Structure 1
Amino acid sequence: MPADRSDLRVDPSVPAGLAAALDRAAGRLASALRGLDADAGRIEPWLGDPVSADAAARYAAHAADGPGAAIEQLRALHAELVRARDTLDASGRGYAVTEDAVARSWATR
């Protein structure tokens, strides 16, 4: 039967690795948002007739403007990824500092 391991240990590279993964995701999303921003104002009639032109304009307005616009939701997701990355990065650094301090305190006994 395995010994009871009630202590919690985190590999110091894990928080940094997770923060880097969030950073990569935020970077990909930021790149996509730049492309969406560039295209958001471009309204082209899908079939070249007034009805499809109106549909394209309504779609673009919904996707890029107003409450609940899709692009705003993506911007909010990007901001959340950045906040999560920063929080995880700070937490990982704090954990490493604490672990080092604990290890040093035991080394002097």
Structure 2
Amino acid sequence: MIKLHINGVARKVIVDDSFPMLTEFGRLLCSYSSNKNEFWISLLEKAYMKVMGGLGDFPGSNSNIDLHALTGWIPERVAIRVKEADFNRDSLFRYSRVENGEEGEFW
């Protein structure tokens, strides 16, 4: 059982431990970790897909829709066009820290 908060409502979702596999290559056909001992990513995706209607009825989404449904956070999408003349990496990845009025770099 996995507890998800979908659109602010707690949901308990029952999932099993079977995952779709691409048998000729022995790879999972879902999200997974590069650490072979971690299954939480695959289990979380399976639970989310079950809540959203399953693979057969899933209308599709993008990371913005999924993050909002799972966290309530309203993400901002920014197009990164490195080849454009006015692209400025430094200004794109800056943010203001609210704490103590300090400014910081994203990385």
* TM-score strictly above 0.5: no
State which structure, 1 or 2, has the greater radius of gyration over its C-alpha atoms.
Answer: 1
Structure 1-normalised TM-score? 0.20
Please identify which structure carries the higher strand content: 2
Where relative contact order (Cα < 8 A, 6+ residues apart) is larger, the structure is: 1
